[in-house]
Homo-oligomer: A and B are copies of this chain.
Amino acid sequence: MKVLQTLSLYSAILSLAMLSVRPAAADEGMWTFDTFPAKIMYDHYGWAPDQSWLDHVRKSAVRLTGGCSASFVSSAGLIFTNHHCVASCLFDNSSAQADLLDNGFTAGRREDEKSCPGQQAEVVTAIADVTGTVQGAYRGMAGETLTRARDAAIAKIEADGCPDRKTTRCQVVTLFGGGQYKLYTYRIYSDVRLVWAPEDRAATFGGDPDNFNFPRYSLDASFLRAYEDGKPIRPSDHLTWTARAPKQDELTFVVGNPGATARLWTQSQFAFEREMRLPITVAILSELRGRLIAAMETSPEKQREGRDTLNGIENSLKVYIGRTKALNDPAFAERLAKGEADLRQRSADNVAIGDPWANVTGAVQAYRTVYLPYRFITPSSDLYGYARALVMAGKEKAKPNGERLPGYTDSALPLLEKQILDKRPLYPWLEKLQLSWSLSKAREYLGVDDADTQLLLGKESPEQLAERLVSQTRLSDPAYRRQLWEGGLQVIEASSDPLVQYALRLEPRQRALTRQVDEAYQGPLTVAGGKLAQARFAAYSDALYPDATFTLRISYGQVKGWTERGKSVPYATVMGGTFDRATGSAPFDLPAAFAAHRNAIDLAATYDFVTTNDIIGGNSGSPVVDRSGAVIGAAFDGNIHSLGGNYGYDPLLNRTVVVSTDAVQEALEKLYPAPALVAELKAR
Nearest residue in B to A290 (C-beta to C-beta)? B290
Q: Which of A435-493 contact B (CB under 8 A)?
A: 437, 443-444, 447-448, 459-461, 464
**Contact residues in B for A276 (Cβ distance below 8 Å):** 328
Q: Shortest distance in angstroms between A372's beta carbon and chain B's nearest beta carbon?
A: 12
Binds B, one of A107-115, A583-591, A664-672: A583-591
Pick the residue among B283, B291, B328, B584 that contacts A274 (CB under 8 A). B328
A292 at interface by CB-CB < 8 Å: yes
Are A284 and B286 in contact, CB atoms less than 8 angstroms apart? yes
Nearest residue in B to A279 (C-beta to C-beta)? B324
Q: Could you tell me the distance between the alpha carbons of A444 and B325 in the complex, rounded to whole angstroms?
A: 14
Are B460 and A585 in contact, CB atoms less than 8 angstroms apart? yes
Nearest residue in B to A433 (C-beta to C-beta)? B294
Are B286 and A464 in contact, CB atoms less than 8 angstroms apart? no
**Contact residues in B for A328 (Cβ distance below 8 Å):** 274-276, 279
A136 at interface by CB-CB < 8 Å: no
A210 at interface by CB-CB < 8 Å: yes
User: What's the number of copies of this chain in the assembled complex?
Assistant: 2
Q: Could you tell me the distance between the alpha carbons of A178 and B584 in the complex, rounded to whole angstroms?
A: 50
Are B443 and A209 in contact, CB atoms less than 8 angstroms apart? yes
Q: Tell me how many residues of A have a C-beta within 8 Å of chain B.
A: 48
Q: Mark A299-343, 1 if CB is under 8 A from B, else 0.
A: 000000000000000000100010011001110000000000000
Provide 27 A-B residue pairs closer than 8 Å at the C-beta atoms, listed in order of the A residue.
A209-B444, A209-B447, A209-B448, A210-B448, A275-B328, A275-B330, A276-B328, A279-B324, A282-B282, A282-B286, A283-B317, A286-B287, A286-B290, A287-B287, A288-B290, A290-B290, A290-B293, A290-B437, A291-B291, A291-B293, A292-B294, A295-B297, A298-B298, A459-B585, A461-B583, A461-B585, A461-B586
- With A209-B448, A289-B290 known, 20 other A-B pairs at CB within 8 A are A209-B444, A213-B447, A213-B448, A279-B279, A283-B283, A283-B286, A283-B321, A286-B286, A286-B290, A287-B290, A290-B294, A291-B294, A292-B294, A293-B294, A448-B588, A459-B584, A459-B585, A460-B583, A461-B583, A461-B586
Which residues of chain A have a CB within 8 Å of any CB of chain B?
A: 206, 208-210, 213, 271, 274-276, 279, 282-284, 286-295, 297-298, 317, 321, 324-325, 328-330, 433, 437, 443-444, 447-448, 459-461, 464, 583-588
A-B complex: 4 closest residue pairs judged by Cβ atoms: A290-B290, A294-B294, A286-B286, A275-B328
